[in-house]
Amino acid sequence: MVLVAVIVGGYLLVKKSAQASITIFKETGEVMHKPDGGDYATISSDELNIPNRSFVKTGGDGLAHVILPDNSMISLSTNTEMQINYNEKTNIIQSLGNAWFRVQKLAGKGEFTVKTPTSVATVRGTIFGVEMEDGGEVVYVTEDSVEIGKDLDHLQNLAENKLATLAEGKTEITDIPQEKKQTPWFRRNEIINREFERGNPREFIKRLRASEEIKVIDEELKLLRVTGKQTLGTESGLFENFTTEGWWKNNTEACAYINSTEYAQATQELQNSRGFLGDWGDWIVKAIEAVKRACGDGVIGAGEASEIEKLYVNQPQMNFSSPVAP
């Protein structure tokens, strides 16, 4: 790769060469890529140079980072997909999932655009996140500002520390809620921001893997993958329902799930996180074991449901306020 950069008035003036490359850094889990018009292939190495207009995709446990030739960086969460087009104007087409963008300040007409199925965001040097949800998107900015809207002809400014919810053709802007700032994905990327500011983003992955803060947050993310609907591969989110009193009553679907391979994998991850979860971790394992015993005949009857219900009387609260690093 050849990259010539000159600092002019606080901006990074970049001259691209034909040898400049786009690089995927695989952090963990399943990460895939495909060239434009090709087929997806799993990435087995920690680092891979890819051609322009390539697609990048993460699986249910995958985390990855894309470094562009100008040293802008995109962090991809699990179950995320996008296409990257890096020319005079950088165009990212994000079709699925959550991503965090760290865009270098470009002089001249340089522009960085992120398009989703229902919205567009344009920037000239900023740090922001895009999360795709059912029925819309959420965009938030932690440094500088972003222009957002349903298309390039209908943009409005989203300032630093603001969050926009875009749904059904409407845009609602608020301060970034404290609840959002406390999520594992947000806190994880705030740590990555600090590493990014240290420079040399192509080396940051080594520092990231050694970070004890990241290790603790990744335990939270792993648990959320286990208990969340998206990872379970079912619209009903049965594993999540273990925290809801009464869900098991005469629930043949619950028994079918409990006897599945997916259930076995999820409970193993939960067992591994019991120390991190404290009292709640011990309680949820007892509840799961009780439901599994009740499913011995394929259905949870009224009497069995009554016994299980006793476990929920003193259900402790699940929280991550005092995590312990592994």
Distance CA 204, CA 225 (A): 25
End-to-end Cα separation, the chain, in angstroms: 38
3-state secondary structure of 69: coil
Distance CA 89, CA 112 (A): 6
Can you give the pLDDT at residue 245?
58
3-state secondary structure of 113: strand
DSSP per-residue letters across 168-219: TTEEEEEEPPHHHHTSHHHHHHHHHHHHHHTS-GGGHHHHHHH-HHHHHHHH
Q: Hey, what amino acid is at 124?
A: R
CB atoms within 10 A of CB 323: 18
* 67, 89, 132, 144 from 113: Cα distances, Å: 16, 8, 16, 15
Contact at 8 Å (CB) between 100 and 129?
A: yes
Nearest to residue 169, comparing CAs of 132, 134, 129, 135? 135
> In this structure, is the dihedral angle defined by the CA atoms of residues 215, 216, 218 and 223, taken in order, positive or negative?
positive
* Radius of gyration from C-alpha coordinates of the chain: 22
Q: What is the dihedral of CA 16, 127, 90, 42, to 10 degrees?
A: 90
Can you give the pLDDT at residue 270?
67
- Sorted by where each begins, the domain ranges of the chain are 20-204, 215-311
Identify the CATH assignment for 20-204 out of 2.60.120.1440, 3.30.70.20, 1.50.10.20, 3.30.70.270.
2.60.120.1440
Residue bearing tokens 């992120």: 114
Give the pair of three-digit tokens for residue 300: 């949870």
Q: Hey, what amino acid is at 183?
A: T
Instruction: Print pLDDT tens along the chain (326 aa).
Output: 222 222 222 233 333 444 468 999 998 889 999 999 899 999 999 899 999 999 999 998 899 999 999 889 999 999 999 999 998 789 999 999 999 999 987 655 468 999 998 888 988 789 999 998 776 799 999 999 999 988 888 889 999 999 999 887 788 999 999 989 988 899 999 989 888 888 776 777 778 877 888 887 877 776 666 554 333 333 334 455 565 656 666 567 777 777 777 677 667 666 666 665 667 777 777 777 888 888 888 788 777 877 777 777 777 765 544 333 33
Give the pair of three-digit tokens for residue 1: 């790769």
Q: Hey, what amino acid is at 77?
A: S
- Burial of residue 280 (number of CB atoms within 10 Å: 0-12, 13-18, 19+): middle
Nearest to residue 222, comparing CAs of 323, 307, 126, 313? 323
- Burial of residue 99 (number of CB atoms within 10 Å: 0-12, 13-18, 19+): buried
